[in-house]
Amino acid sequence: MGYFDAASAAPLHPVARQALLASLDEGWADPARLYREGRRARLLLDAAREAAAEAVGCRADELVFTPSGTRAVHSGVAGALAGRRRVGRHLIVSAVEHSSVLHAAEELERDGGTVTQVPVDRVGAVDAEAFAAALGDGTALACLQSANHEVGTEQPVTEVAEACRAAGVPLLVDAAQSLGWGKVQGDWSLLTASAHKWGGPSGVGLLVVRKGVRFAPQGAADERESGRAPGFENLPAIVAAAASLRAVRAEAAQEAARLRELTERIRARVPGLLPDVEVVGDAVRRLPGIVTFSCLYVDGETLLHELDRAGFSVSSGSSCTSSTLTPSHVLKAMGVLTEGNVRVSLPPGTPAEDVERFLEVLPGAVAAVRERLGAPAAAESAPQTGADLVVDAVGRRCPIPVIELAKVIGDVPVGGTVRVLSDDEAARLDIPAWCEMRGQEYVGEERAERGTAYLVRRIK
């Protein structure tokens, strides 16, 4: 089986397993107690904190362990905003942040604060100057991920951190995807991460708050973890998380080079193996193990099931996955195709043979899904029947509106238009993306009696 979804959760590292089992015997007592068992637990907790702090590049007393990466984000955002409430209630985030950051931003807006989303370019990167321009006198906090979780694009954290420091605004960096590969560069103020992303156990997050950052923990007071993460510490999991972080860092340089070669192999060969496919994300500034591509005329959920039957576990940011009918906010912000999206994220140790087998299986899986959906086999010239056509796709979900558009575009002469009627939100994203990929002109949208009319002009 090829497990290619490490960006969601990496397999448990052997060192994590060993540390977890050992600390179950030694670290079960309350580390706040002064008796022998408590002192032993305290030593394990302190050692884990020192190891994690060294990996992050911070002081041990700046780092606390939380019950998850999401909790670390929520606590970090809420605490930083509360600590700087006299400055203002303005938060800056990028448009492609993890949902945990965006949910925290929504909470601020519901409470009367304001949020600025900095847009990204077509590869998913923010412009550092645009981010700096969003900073203002009332800005209490800025958030920027170190690398994107869906497409792997690395963000200009160093440049943004410099701008934030000059403006006197703390920067929170979500380092969940990148921390296993190395320290986050730049003069950031707060940092969050999650152990299950680097091969540690689930249920352990990191929250780092640099000395000098105004921070007011929210919620009922608790004496543990500097009052920033209430509740009894899951000491065995914390020890395993710190041990595995140290272990993956020791292997990072060699493994990163190997995984980059494998993902570059996928990036280079997929466009030749599949017609009508777009590889997305930055080709150079990206994480080692992530490669993402989108296939026209493909239902993302169906494709994932097809690949699962072939023995490969991948994920999708498609608008048609089993959990939601809402298009991926990352792909939407990038302006790329949202349908038929496949994210391959290779865990450390992935054999090259598994990648080769994936590339052998993929064309057949995509072809099977396209045939099932009645997608056009190729761009064919058809008799030109008139200057304009209307495609009624109301009530039909992705990728059917785009498939129907592709079938009839050849029926109109060059300069003619196709009006696609659809009530699927994904059409607003995927029809312009189809035009970009196929060299046609997207004219815009109009209100219609049923749904929305999307206008496409044939230019070749």
* pLDDT (0 to 100) of residue 299: 85
- Beta strand pairing status for 90-94 and 139-143? parallel
Residue 320 DSSP code: T
What average pLDDT score do residues 62-75 get?
A: 96
pLDDT tens sequence across 138-180: 999 999 999 999 999 999 999 999 999 999 999 999 999 999 9
Q: Are 145 and 97 in contact, with CB atoms under 8 Å apart?
A: yes
**Per-residue pLDDT averaged across 225-229, rounded?**
79
Q: What SS3 class is residue 74?
A: helix
What values do phi and psi take at 174, rounded to 5? -85, 105
User: For the purposes of burial, counting CB atoms within 10 Å of the CB of 179, is it exposed (0-12), middle (13-18) or buried (19 or more)?
Assistant: buried
pLDDT tens digits, residue range 386-428? 578 999 999 988 889 999 999 899 889 999 999 999 998 889 8
Strand-pair category, 290-295 with 277-280:
antiparallel
What is the Cβ-side half-sphere exposure of residue 166, based on CA atoms within 13 angstroms? Answer: 11
Q: Which two tokens stand for residue 369?
A: 């899904």
Q: pLDDT band at residue 380, thresholds of 50, 70 and 90?
A: very low
> Residue 47 is which amino acid?
A
- Residue 168 has what pLDDT? 97
For position 386, what pLDDT does the model report? 56
Look at residue 425 in the predicted model and tell me its pLDDT. 85
Question: Residue 257: is its pLDDT beyond 70?
Answer: yes
For the chain, give the mean pLDDT.
92
Rank 62-71, 409-418, 434-443, 448-457 by mean pLDDT and report only the highest: 62-71
Backbone angles phi, psi at 445, to 5 degrees: -125, 155
CA 388 to chain centre: 40
**Amino acid identity for residue 205 in this structure:** G
Looking at residue 381, its pLDDT comes to 44
pLDDT value at residue 163: 98
- What pLDDT is stored for residue 255 in this prediction? 97
Is 306 exposed, middle or buried (CB count within 10 Å of its CB: 0-12, 13-18, 19+)?
buried
Binned at pLDDT 50, 70 and 90, residue 318 comes out as low
How much is the pLDDT for 327? 77
Q: Can you give the pLDDT at residue 384?
A: 47
8-state DSSP, 376: -
Annotate 71-89 with b (16+ C-beta within 10 A) or e (fewer): bbbbbbbbbbbebbeebbb
Tokens matching residue 203? 């249920």
- pLDDT by residue (tens digit) across 174-221? 999 999 999 999 999 999 999 999 999 999 999 999 999 999 999 877
Q: What value does the mean pLDDT take over residues 254-259?
A: 97
Catalytic center residues:
320
Query: Who has greater pLDDT, 114 or 450?
Result: 114
pLDDT at 229: 83
353: nearest Cα among 265, 291, 267, 257: 265
Q: How far is CA 22 from CA 5, 46, 85, 225, in A?
A: 28, 16, 44, 23
Q: What spatial distance separates the first Cα and last Cα of the chain, rounded to whole Å?
A: 44
Quick one: pLDDT at residue 254? Answer: 95
pTM of the model: 0.90
Q: Report percent pLDDT > 70 for the chain.
A: 95
